[in-house]
Structure 1
Amino acid sequence: MTSPVHVTSEIGTLKTVLLKRPGKEVENLTPDIMGRLLFDDIPYLPEIQREHDFFAKTLQDNGVETIYLETLAAEALDAGNVKEEFLEKMLDESALVSSTLHAALKEYLLSMETQDMIDKIMAGVRTNEIDYKSNALVDLSSSEDYPFFMDPMPNLYFTRDPAASMGDGLTINRMTFAARRRESLFMEYIMEYHPRFANKGVNVWRSRNHLDRMEGGDELILNDHVLAIGISQRTSARSIEELAQVLFAKHSGFDKILAIKIPSNRAMMHLDTVFTMIDYDKFTIHPGIQDNGGNVDTFILEPGKDNHINISHRTDLQNVLREVLKVPELILIPVGNGDAVVAPREQWNDGSNTLAIAPNTVVTYNRNYVSNEVLRSYGIKVIEVISAELSRGRGGPRCMSMPIVREDLKK
């Protein structure tokens, strides 16, 4: 491995993973702004931090190095001497009502040490934190009772989505909703300026400066040749085709992409909320993405002549996976054992969102006890983590982790 980013499968032994410990941004949620910030409930900060620490310790106890987004971001800005440049970009993307507010926030945030500034940007800046008053018409017309000048970023502990490792590179994503769009700016600066990654041969296959949306929860690395990407609420078909064009043209090693169409709704926002790989020949699946015949619209993208992409359509997902993975049999394990009540309930709490840390070994939420027992019945080693507060954000162990390095699978 020459690149500090190296992920060629979903199930290779996990060596390094990027996390974000929930912070004040979670405590800055209120009932009035939950919808705006894509939350359905308000987690209890001390408990969600305890649960996240338990998750991180579980990974560490299994030989995984855990690195943290908030720490890397501050180190990157200091290493590149780009603190002010980064802040200007962050403010430009923060929907501020006027240039005078921009200037006031810039002065306030630049007065902090770099780590404190990063933590404050993530947590959000409340209107009572700075002495700012303006007679500008644009300021007077804005909502006087909205509590933030800069919105908090409570979704940051789902590190999977803003960027996703792919081979010796990654995608740095344009997020779908405004509430999350600023998140990928941290990864852009980490990759460009942090000594661990800068000038180390990391390929950015797709930057955040695109018009079409893509999020990491839809990006699955099936092996060193095949990707599966969800056509979902958060990732468009056009963005998948654009990524395929780049991967094929740059000889990334990936020569086949399965674009899997799933329902576009909150309960199934990403492919990995309904479908994850747990072994060479086993996947979890939420039955709700299949029709009565067990079919799922699947489009296979492959390189054609003269940079053209060949696209074929199939509906027999199980057979397609078996063929591209070259396994004699393939098992789709239904979340909640496929029960009409249990399956949607455990799916809502991310029963399908497993994090494989090695072949046949997954980390799951303990609350999904039916799904976990079903996995064990198939011989899967299941490591449970506590999840009462973490699950309120609508994301599971895979959502909360961005693998940076995995061991290659043995051929």
Structure 2
Amino acid sequence: MSGPINVKSEIGKLKAVILKRPGKEVENITPDTMPRLLFDDIPYLPIAQKEHDDFARVLKENGTEVLYLDDLVAEALEEEKVRQEFLERMISESGFQTGKTATALKEYLDSLDSLTMVQRIMEGIRKEDVQLKSFDLREASEDSDYPFLMDPMPNLYFTRDPAASIGTGLSINHMTFAARRRESLFMEYIIAHHKRFANQGVHVWRNRNHNTRIEGGDELVLSNHVLAIGVSQRTSAEAIQDIAGSLFENASGYDTVIAIKIPHNHAMMHLDTVFTMINYDQFTVHPAILTKDGQVDSWILHPTKDGISIEHQRDLKQVLKTTLNLDDLDLIPTGNGDPIVAPREQWNDGSNTLAIAPGEVVTYNRNYVSNKILRKHGLKVHEVLSSELSRGRGGPRCMSMPIVREDLNK
């Protein structure tokens, strides 16, 4: 391994990861703003933080270095020029390119130390926080009763989505919904300006300056040359073809991209909510994405001298066996495939397993049927607390952005 990013599988021993401990942004959700902020419920923050600390503890006790997103961003803003540029871009992307409100927001945020400033941006800036020196037409707009000038970012504890490590580089993602789009700006500044990553040869396979959408929960690194990406509610076919082209053209080591179509709905928003790799030849899968005979629409992308070849397939098991050179594999059904248990536990992220080593996973404790089945299939399972974290509709894989995994020997 060399360089600050090295992720050439889903299952290599996890050595370093980026997390975001839930903060006040979660308490800034209200029943009226839940749809706008993409939440179905409001987690109770003190318990959510205890549960997240439990998650981080399990990772650390198993040899993983845990880095926190807000610390990394603050450290990336040490240079005054970089800090000012970041502030201007964040305020602009929050809807205030120019004018009195933009000026007032910048004055307020610039008065804070970098870590406090970053955390306040993440939490959301209320109108009452900023003293407008004169009347601003924004106050008379259709949002006049809305309490925030800058929306809170409660989805940030799902660090998987704004950016995704692939090989020795990453994608910094253009996200689907406005509520999450600013999140990837944090990673852009970390990669460009944090001493751990800047000028270290980290390749950005695809940046956030696109109109087509892709999110990290749909990006699964199956081997050192095979990537799977979900065609989902959050990731478009156009974005998959674009990132495949970039990987093929830039000596990434990746020569195969499998695009897997999943239902486009909130319950199955990303591929990793219905399908994860947990061992060399073992995968979790939510039965609802497959037909009774194990079929799902998939497209295999390869580089050619003229561009990209695309082959349509439907037998997921055969596609995985062929691309990963496996004699056989074990598809483990969420909730043991029970028609009541499977959708219930998938809703509570029973399919969203995080492998921390081959055959060793972190899961939510609430999915006891799925966890029992994983153990029956020979997996080592670390259960973490989940009563409040799960209200955000994301599990251990969603809550983690691996940046270093050990390379596999086979």
TM over 0.5: yes
State the identity as a percent. Answer: 65
Cα shift at 1:136: 4.1
Contact 2:218 2:230 in 1 (8 A): yes
Most deviating of 342-351 and 122-131 = 122-131
What residue number does 1:362 align with? 361
Cα shift at 1:138: 4.4
Contact 2:229 2:240 in 1 (8 A): yes
Q: Provide Cα deviations, 1:284-323, integer angstroms capped at 9, x if missing partner.
A: 00011112332100000001123x1000000000111011
Q: C-alpha separation between the residues in 2 aligned to 1:292 and 1:383? A: 31
- In the TM superposition, 1:291-310 aligns within 5 A as 291-306=291-306, 308-310=307-309
Q: Provide Cα deviations, 1:153-200, integer angstroms capped at 9, x if missing partner.
A: 000000000000000000000010000000000000000000000000
- In the TM superposition, 1:10-409 aligns within 5 A as 10-79=10-79, 81-96=81-96, 99-132=99-132, 134-306=134-306, 308-409=307-408
Change (3 A) 1:81 1:136: closer
Contact 2:138 2:144 in 1 (8 A): no
Contact 1:80 1:193 in 2 (8 A): no
Q: C-alpha separation between the residues in 1 aligned to 2:46 and 2:78? A: 29
Cα shift at 1:362: 0.2
What residue number does 1:4 align with? 4
Q: Which amino acid aligns with 2:348?
A: N
Q: C-alpha separation between the residues in 1 aligned to 2:101 and 2:278? A: 49
Q: C-alpha separation between the residues in 1 aligned to 2:78 and 2:394? A: 32
Cα shift at 1:134: 4.4
Q: Which amino acid aligns with 1:347?
A: Q
Aligned-pair RMSD on alpha carbons? Answer: 1.1
Change (3 A) 1:150 1:138: closer
Cα shift at 1:135: 3.4
Aligned residues: 410
Q: C-alpha separation between the residues in 1 aligned to 2:142 and 2:98? A: 10
Q: C-alpha separation between the residues in 1 aligned to 2:208 and 2:25? A: 23
Cα shift at 1:109: 0.4
SS state at 1:296 partner: strand
The answer for unaligned runs of 5 or more in structure 2 is none
Most deviating of 286-295 and 354-363 = 286-295
SS state at 2:78 partner: helix
Contact 2:101 2:136 in 1 (8 A): no
Q: Which amino acid aligns with 2:28?
A: N
Q: Provide Cα deviations, 1:257-279, integer angstroms capped at 9, x if missing partner.
A: 00000000000000000000000
SS state at 1:214 partner: coil
Q: C-alpha separation between the residues in 2 aligned to 1:131 and 1:410? A: 59
SS state at 1:6 partner: coil
Q: TM-score, normalized by length of structure 2? A: 0.98
Cα shift at 1:82: 1.1
Q: List 4+ stretches of structure 1 deviating above 4 A.
A: none
Cα shift at 1:349: 0.4
Most deviating of 27-36 and 98-107 = 98-107
Q: C-alpha separation between the residues in 2 aligned to 1:137 and 1:55? A: 45
Q: C-alpha separation between the residues in 2 aligned to 1:111 and 1:87? A: 12
Change (3 A) 1:185 1:284: same
Q: Provide Cα deviations, 1:199-252, integer angstroms capped at 9, x if missing partner.
A: 001000000001100000000000001000000000000001011111111121
Q: Which amino acid aligns with 2:129?
A: E
Q: C-alpha separation between the residues in 1 aligned to 2:212 and 2:97? A: 25
Cα shift at 1:128: 1.4
Q: C-alpha separation between the residues in 1 aligned to 2:71 and 2:351? A: 30
Contact 1:365 1:385 in 2 (8 A): yes
SS state at 1:121 partner: helix
Q: C-alpha separation between the residues in 2 aligned to 1:125 and 1:38? A: 18
Change (3 A) 1:115 1:168: same
Q: C-alpha separation between the residues in 2 aligned to 1:273 and 1:80? A: 40
Most deviating of 271-280 and 81-90 = 81-90
SS state at 2:77 partner: helix
Cα shift at 1:97: 8.7
Cα shift at 1:130: 1.9
Q: C-alpha separation between the residues in 1 aligned to 2:359 and 2:379? A: 5
Q: Which amino acid aligns with 1:391?
A: S
Q: Which amino acid aligns with 2:388?
A: E
Cα shift at 1:129: 1.3
Contact 1:295 1:315 in 2 (8 A): yes
Contact 1:274 1:352 in 2 (8 A): yes
SS state at 1:230 partner: strand
Q: C-alpha separation between the residues in 1 aligned to 2:153 and 2:213? A: 18
Most deviating of 91-100 and 360-369 = 91-100
Change (3 A) 1:134 1:81: closer
SS state at 1:297 partner: strand
Q: C-alpha separation between the residues in 2 aligned to 1:136 and 1:355? A: 47
Q: C-alpha separation between the residues in 2 aligned to 1:137 and 1:378? A: 62
SS state at 1:171 partner: strand
Change (3 A) 1:52 1:101: same
